[in-house]
Amino acid sequence: MSGLVRRRCDEREPVVITGLAAVSPLGSTVDTILDRLFAGVSGVREIEIDPRARTDARFAAPVTEIPRPAGIEPEEFARLDRLEQLCLSPVAGALADAGIDRSPAGPRIGLVLGLGAEQLKVWELDFLAAGTAVFESRRDPTIVHRLAARTGITGPAVTAAAACASSGYALALARAWIDAGWVDACVAGGCDILSPTSIAAFYNLRALSRRADDPTKASRPFDRDRDGFVMGEGGACFVLERRSAAVARGARIRGELAGVGMSSDGVHMVTPSTDPAQAARAIAAALADAGVSPGDLDYVNAHAAGTPVGDVAEAGAIRLACGEAADAIPVSSTKSMTGHLVSGAAAFEALACLGAIERQAVPPTVNLDEPDPACPLLHVPHRARPHRVAVAASNSFGFGGSNLCLVLRAA
């Protein structure tokens, strides 16, 4: 058989992470973000939303600083809309962190960005700035192509959208391309922004927390008193490449993207299935892809956004996929601190897993005062816990019943 053939985990050369960058409510350098994540700092605050939206939603987790990439003039960066700034910053940052050759003689580099509602956000930003683009008969290149051109990436460039699992699918596609030999390296990840209509849409869907007291207490995954999620913005990007290529060029290897599992509930456009079978299948597939068993898992970064239905469904999926081993696997939701980064969530939470591996500790679920008995997991409430972490998994679930699990392993 010619062409692309699925390789077994023991036949496949590891795909490793050699560059990373993030922009988040907890900061905009990886070290700062991890420091705050492991200190249990919340990035949720009261925000001002465009008065035209007149929404009752008050809390969110905004990005306060978007680093301007080297080589981009301030005026040029300022001309980009906020979503493109939020995407360009970690893409350029990850490339710089990897130190990869971008000359014409260098490796073939691809780009995959998880952007679930790019155009809705772009049209909205334009409209709120008195533009009329959404009404016009025009087709502009998408952000991923503009970023590829700006950063000199000539390999495949694709926008991936799987709602809240978008940036995880971006990482999955990137790894597949490298595994297939279609590219030598790939930048992958995703970002999202807060916008009045997306906050209003999620609020009207009754997916957002209605708490109005202390913003830092509003995001409460797995807690008995959770009442919805808090929206956040930001995300993360990674540079992936084959281990042999990374070693040959002396790159710093931050970890391995060891396994990917994907499935769909096929049940409902909005709510997750109450049957955990398909979500568990994605987790089991990721473990199998990585060649590890549930007993090898040292940490699970849960999708757990803090919705009454979703957290219970995920707990059931983890228990179904991991069986009795689930009793000994620490599980936490970093959305308790960052809010839900939506398209950027999966990539950001993969970064949290790398942080757990690097720091040999598990980040906490803050605000987990009274764990919901319907979510029987080994929680890590309030404070980070020192723990040996060599293999970590990150779950992401999205609208339309999209299920994705990534397994990350120490280099």
Dihedral of CA 310/313/317/319: which sign? Answer: positive
| Number of C-beta neighbours around residue 359 at 10 A | 17
> Does residue 249 interact with another protein by CB under 8 A?
yes
**340 in active site:** yes
- How many residues appear in the chain? 411
CA dihedral 247, 253, 255, 258 (to 10 degrees): -20
Q: Given the residues 191, 237, 303, 405, select the one marked as catalytic.
A: 303
Catalytic residue among 87, 191, 322, 340: 340
- Is 387 one of the catalytic residues? no
**Using CB under 8 A, which of the segments 81-89, 174-182, 220-228, 231-239 binds another protein?**
174-182
Phi, psi of 61 (to 5 degrees): -120, 90
Q: Please give the Cα distance from 92 to 98 (Å, whole number).
A: 10
- Which is closer to another protein, CB of 2 or CB of 74? 2
For 192-235, give the DSSP string: E---HHHHHHHHHTT-B----S-GGGS--TTBTT---B-BB-EE
Applying CB under 8 A, the span of 168-176, 228-236, 308-316, 369-377 interacting with another protein comes to 168-176
Instruction: Find the farthest-apart pair of alpha carbons in the chain and give their distance in angstroms, rounded.
Output: 62
What tokens were used for 80?
A: 């980009």
| 303 included as an active-site residue | yes
Transcribe 79-108 into DSSP letters.
Answer: HS-HHHHHHHHHHHHHHHHHT---STTS--
- 173 interacts with another protein by CB under 8 A: yes
Region 105-134 residues binding another protein, contact defined as CB under 8 A: 105-108, 110, 115-120, 123-124, 127, 134
Per CB under 8 A, does 53 bind another protein?
A: yes
Site for another protein in 349-408 (CB under 8 A): 398-402, 404
> At its nearest, how many Å lie between another protein and the CB of residue 144?
9
Q: Does 135 bind another protein (CB under 8 A)?
A: yes
Query: Which CB sits closer to another protein, 56 or 369?
Result: 56
Q: Give the DSSP per-residue string, 357-405.
A: HHHTEE--BTT-SSB-TTS-SEE-BSS-EE---SEEEEEEEETTTEEEE
Q: Which of 38, 59, 203, 229 binds another protein (CB under 8 A)?
A: 203
Closest by CA position to 354, among listed 289, 281, 301, 287: 301
169 binds another protein (CB under 8 A): yes
Q: Of 217-225, 263-271, 348-356, 372-380, which part binds another protein (CB under 8 A)?
A: 263-271
- The only residue of 3, 74, 373, 386 in contact with another protein, by rule CB under 8 A: 3
Among 193, 218, 262, 356, binds another protein (CB under 8 A): 262
By the rule CB under 8 A, 158 interacts with another protein: yes
With CB under 8 A as the contact rule, the residue among 159, 333, 365, 367 that binds another protein is 159
Stretch that binds another protein, among 62-70, 166-174, 316-324, 357-365 (CB under 8 A): 166-174
Instruction: Classify 164 as helix, strand or coil.
Output: strand
Residue 42, classed as helix, strand or coil, is coil
| Closer by beta carbon to another protein, 155 or else 232 | 155
Residues annotated as catalytic are 164, 303, 340
